[in-house]
Amino acid sequence: MPTAFIFPGQGSQSVGMGRDLAAAFAAAREVFDEVDETLGQRLSKVMFEGPAEALTLTENAQPALMAMSLAVTRVLAQEGGVHVAERAALVLGHSLGEYSALAAAGALSVAGTAKLLRLRGAAMQAAVAPGQGAMAALLGVEAVVAAEICAEAAVLKREGEPDLRQVVQVANDNGGGQVVISGHKAAVERAVEIAKTRGVKRAMLLPVSAPFHCALMAPAADRMEEALADTLFAAPVVPLIANVTAAKVTAPSDIKRLLVAQVTGTVRWRESIVAAMDMGVDRFVELGAGRVLTGLGKRIAPDAIALNAGTPAEIEALLKAL
């Protein structure tokens, strides 16, 4: 059965993640220890014990979620003989999850991925001053309508003054009528109000620390371009469907370019899942914390098989299913 392994992004983290894995499997402990040593921080302690405020920090959440996904990947390989490189037709990752997917597919080492995600998280957090940006979720709307709402909200009209354009754009097309927008706080707030007049089922600001995946992240994209240029990539043994193109990619030079574009670009998750299905995939397996992508996948592709693994019990069930 053609299978795509998928890897979660920011928002899937929770205090306690990975603790049971570390207790049950030496392979998981090895990954957590390697990330801790690479970062010079007991990130695993933050994952296992919190506090939530520390885990939610972007510079911690991103490498932590990668560590969780790669711990599950290594346990599946060492304990169950299930190797992503051998069992996957494709890999996909949501935002930072692309880095996890690439590491699982052999393009990056665990240590190299941890360094990149620590830098990525810090750069994204620093790109916009606190309070200047915002993100909002629009529910019950298609991405094309959300883009129209953003275009209208981007123009700030002031009587007697020239119109001022602000940034607000589609950050994530998650599927199932769920679209996330991002940009200047005032423009995002205007978009929320406009959405309510357009029959959008629900529109709400999100409790995030920065406006991710929009043009305001340009300074972070510049930082990542420099870092990625100095990072050795191998060609992944399994093709990646890239967030910003919803198309298959394998060449390291193209992957680097798309990872830079992803910082300011839209995560086209709905289109990526549809593209995978068009390529013959009929089973999606989420590896790592939570089951956010599993839930989205059921709405985008209700006829596909959706599985997930992030705990010892879930790993056991997944090994039986595979």
Instruction: Return the active site residues.
Output: 95, 213
**Is 6 in a helix, a strand, or coil?**
strand
Please give the radius of gyration of the chain, using alpha carbons only, rounded to the nearest integer: 19
Please write down the HEC assignment for all residues of 168-221. EEEEEEEECCEEEEEEEHHHHHHHHHHHHHCCCCEEEECCCCCCCCCHHHHHHH
Length of the chain, in residues: 322
Burial of 67 (0-12, 13-18, 19+ CB in 10 A): buried
Q: Which of 134, 126, 123, 135 is nearest to 221 (CA)?
A: 123
Q: H helices within the chain, ranges in order? A: 19-24, 26-39, 43-49, 52-56, 58-80, 84-87, 97-104, 110-126, 143-153, 185-197, 218-229, 252-264, 269-278, 292-300, 312-321
- The tokens describing 264, both together, are 């300011």
Which CA distances in Å does 210 have to 57, 58, 270, 297, 299? 10, 9, 23, 26, 27
Rounded Cα gap, residues 277 and 240, in angstroms: 14
CB 254 within 8 A of CB 285: no
Rounded Cα gap, residues 153 and 187, in angstroms: 6
**Is 93 in a helix, a strand, or coil?**
strand
